[in-house]
Amino acid sequence: MIAPQHLQHALSELLGDARLAVTALPGTELKLWLIDEANMDRAFSPDETRRILEDPPYWSFCWAS
């Protein structure tokens, strides 16, 4: 399944090499487009960190709590 182009483009603007992957939620039939963890096990570059902090994703506040 190919990620919706507008979502992948927005993510690529924030994190150049990040890719979306369909992820099934355990115990449900729901599937979400989430960042594929396969290539995200690394430190963010200074530019990536700056872009993230300039306009933090709304979910980051819930995810970290």
Put simply, whether the predicted model's pTM sits higher than 0.85 gets the answer: no
Q: Structural domain tally of the chain?
A: 1
Residue-number span of the structural domain to which 28 is assigned: 5-63
Q: Which two tokens stand for residue 57?
A: 């994703």
Tell me the Ramachandran region of residue 27: left when phi exceeds 0, alpha when psi lies from -120 to 50, beta otherwise: left
CA–CA distance, 33 with 30 (Å, rounded to integer): 10
Q: Which residue is it, tokens 């994703």?
A: 57
Q: What is the mean pLDDT of the chain?
A: 86
Read off the pLDDT of each residue in 28-43 and give the average, rounded to a whole number.
89
At 5, the pLDDT band (50, 70, 90 cuts) reads: very high
Helix (H), strand (E) at residue 52: helix 46-54
